[in-house]
Amino acid sequence: MIRICMVGTGYVGLVSGACMADFGHHVTCVDINAERIRGLERGEIPFYEPGLDRLVLKNVQEGRLFFTTSLAEAFKDASVVFIAVQTPMSGSGEADLQYVMKVGEQIGALLDGYKVIVTKSTVPVGTNRRLAEVISTHLKTPGTPFDMASNPEFLREGSSIDDFMRPDRVVIGTETERSEKLLRDIYRPLFLLDTPIVKTGIETAELIKYASNSFLAVKISFINEIARLAERVGADVFDVAKSMGLDKRIGPKFLHAGLGFGGSCLPKDTNAIVHIAQEAGSDMSIVRAAIGVNADLPGRALAKAESLTGGLQGRTVALLGLAFKPNTDDIRSAPSLDLVAGLKTRGCTVRVHDPAAAENFKLVHPDLVYCRSPYEACEGADLVVLVTEWNQYRQLDFAAIAAKAAGRAFLDCRNVYNRPHLEAHGFRYDCFGRAGQTSAPA
C-alpha cells in the first residue's frame, strides 16, 4: 500500500485517485474548490462519468479514499504526489501552466523529506524541468531531496475507469531507480494483465502524450478530408474507412467521419504541440492541417443544412446531442457550440436535447429551447440534426418525429442512418462523405 496525494479533483485527478485507491493504495485527493470537496465527501461526483460514483463510494467506505482542501494534510504522509490540475488552452493556443506552477510553489514550501512529484496533467515538453526549479527555489529546507516523474494519462471521457483499469500501456518517465520503483509499485495490479509499462526519460514521456493525441486528431481529420473528397468523386467514406481499417497497419478505430473532434484534450493538445514545435524551432505542419480540417466541419454541416431546408433563415432546427461525444456531459470545444452560433446568426429557433449535457450547455446558451426528449425537440422543427451519436438516438422512431416536425429534413452529422431509411419516412437526408446518400436539395 502506497500513500498517494492527488492534487486536483477534475476529471483526471478524481478518476486516477479513485482507481489507485481501488488498487489498494491510500489516496487523499485535494482541491482548492471547497464546495467540490464537500460534495465529494457526500459522494457527489462533480461531472458525469459512468461508474465513478460507485467506485468513489466503495473506496471511501473501505477507508482508502479521502478528500480535503488542505494540501498540507494530503501531502504530509504521502510518498508520491500526483499533479492533476487543469492546463487550459491560453488565448494563443499554448498550455496555460499557472495552476501547475502554483502547486509546485506550494509543494516546495511543504516538502520536508523525499517524495516523488509526478505530473499527470498534460504538460508541454520541458515542464517537469521547470517545475523542479520552481519546487527547488521554494524549498523551506534547501537541498531536501525529491524526484520528478511524468506519468501521462490516456483516459477517454465516458470510459475512463475501464481505460485506467485496463490500459493499452502505462508510461512512466523517470530519472532515478527509486522513483521508477515507486511508480511501478503503484501500477503493480496491472502486471497481472500483462499491461506494457513503457519506461522512458521525462521529456519522452511528456511528448508521448502529445504525439498520441495529435495522431488521433490527424486520423480523424484524415478521414474527414477523405469524406469531403468522397462526396465529390461519388464514393462512400463508410466503405473506404471500413476497408482501410481492415489493414492491420491502419486499424479501424478513429476513422469515423462526421463533425470531427472536440472535447478537452484533442483540440487543446493539437494546438499545444504546434506551439511546442514552434518554440523548439520545428514545425507540426500535419497537425496544423488537421486542426484546419476540423475547424471547417461545423461550417460544412451548416451548408448541408442550408441545402436540405432550401435556406435556414428563420427556421426551427432541432439538435439531438450537445456533448462533444456520447456518454459525457462535457461540452468543451464541442462542435454543437459552432452549430448553435451559426444557427443563431441565421435567426433560427434552436430546440435541443441531450441526455447529460443540457445543464452545461444552458450556461453558455440559456436562450435555446431545452427539451426533455428527442421527440419534444423535434416539435415544429423544419430540420432535425443528429449532432452527438448517443445510443438513444440510434433507433429513433421516425414516424413519431414526422408526426411532430414541421418539415421533413434530417442531417446526420455522425453517419448513423442512411438515405433509404429516412426517405421511407418522407425525410430528405444528408450525412458526411457518402455520395449517393444525399437526398435532392429542397
Please list the active-site residues. Answer: 265
In Å, what is the CA distance from 110 to each residue of 82, 138, 166? Answer: 15, 9, 34
Check binding of 262 to ligand UDX (CB under 6 A). yes
Check binding of 432 to ligand UDX (CB under 6 A). no
Q: Which is nearer to ligand UDX, 66 or 324 (CB)?
A: 324
Residue with cell 478518476: 15
Check binding of 256 to ligand UDX (CB under 6 A). yes
Check binding of 215 to ligand UDX (CB under 6 A). no
Q: Which is nearer to ligand UDX, 8 or 263 (CB)?
A: 263
Check binding of 266 to ligand UDX (CB under 6 A). yes
**d(C-alpha 147, C-alpha 130), whole Å:** 13
- Shortest approach of ligand UDX to residue 260 CB, angstroms? 5
Check binding of 49 to ligand UDX (CB under 6 A). no
The H or E element that residue 66 is part of is: strand 65-68
State which of positions 121-160 bind ligand UDX (CB under 6 A).
153-157
- Shortest approach of ligand UDX to residue 85 CB, angstroms? 16
Stretch binding ligand UDX (CB under 6 A), from 127-135, 251-259, 365-373, 393-401: 251-259
CB 273 within 8 A of CB 427: no
Check binding of 258 to ligand UDX (CB under 6 A). yes
- Shortest approach of ligand UDX to residue 323 CB, angstroms? 9
Beta bridge partners of 67: 29
Q: Which is nearer to ligand UDX, 116 or 220 (CB)?
A: 220
- Shortest approach of ligand UDX to residue 435 CB, angstroms? 20
What cell numbers appear for 109 in the block? 514550501
- How many helices (DSSP H) and strands (DSSP E) are in the chain? 17, 14
Stretch binding ligand UDX (CB under 6 A), from 41-49, 176-184, 256-264, 273-281: 256-264
Q: Sketch the per residue contact string, 313 through 352, with ligand UDX: x for CB under 6 A, - otherwise.
A: -----------xx---------------------------
CB 167 within 8 A of CB 190: yes
CB 415 within 8 A of CB 432: yes
Check binding of 428 to ligand UDX (CB under 6 A). no
Check binding of 355 to ligand UDX (CB under 6 A). no
Closest by CA to 103, choosing from 67, 79, 127, 77, is 127
Q: Which is nearer to ligand UDX, 9 or 224 (CB)?
A: 224
Calculate the CA 198 to chain-centre distance: 23
Residue with cell 523517470: 174
Number of residues that bind ligand UDX (CB under 6 A): 20
Calculate the CA 66 to chain-centre distance: 26
Q: Which residue is nearest to ligand UDX (CB)?
A: 265
**d(C-alpha 322, C-alpha 387), whole Å:** 7
Q: Which is nearer to ligand UDX, 258 or 407 (CB)?
A: 258
Residue with cell 468543451: 332
Check binding of 66 to ligand UDX (CB under 6 A). no
- Shortest approach of ligand UDX to residue 332 CB, angstroms? 9
CB 396 within 8 A of CB 420: no
Check binding of 263 to ligand UDX (CB under 6 A). yes
- Burial environment of residue 87 by CB neighbours within 10 A (0 to 12, 13 to 18, 19 or more): buried
**Number of Cβ atoms within 10 Å of the Cβ of 229:** 13
**d(C-alpha 1, C-alpha 20), whole Å:** 10
- Shortest approach of ligand UDX to residue 442 CB, angstroms? 27
Backbone phi, psi, residue 68, to 5°:
-155, 160
Figure out which of the listed residues 100, 107, 220, 357 binds ligand UDX, where binding follows CB under 6 A: 220
Beta bridge partners of 171: 198
What cell numbers appear for 247 in the block? 489493414
- Burial environment of residue 354 by CB neighbours within 10 A (0 to 12, 13 to 18, 19 or more): buried
Check binding of 206 to ligand UDX (CB under 6 A). no
Figure out which of the listed residues 104, 108, 167, 260 binds ligand UDX, where binding follows CB under 6 A: 260
Q: What is the DSSP letter of 191?
A: G
**Number of Cβ atoms within 10 Å of the Cβ of 193:** 10
Q: Which is nearer to ligand UDX, 52 or 312 (CB)?
A: 52
Q: Which is nearer to ligand UDX, 140 or 242 (CB)?
A: 242
CB 264 within 8 A of CB 325: no
Q: Which is nearer to ligand UDX, 299 or 314 (CB)?
A: 299
- Shortest approach of ligand UDX to residue 331 CB, angstroms? 11
Q: Which is nearer to ligand UDX, 99 or 254 (CB)?
A: 254
- Shortest approach of ligand UDX to residue 271 CB, angstroms? 13
Residues engaged in binding ligand UDX (CB under 6 A): 153-157, 213, 216, 220, 254-256, 258, 260-263, 265-266, 324-325
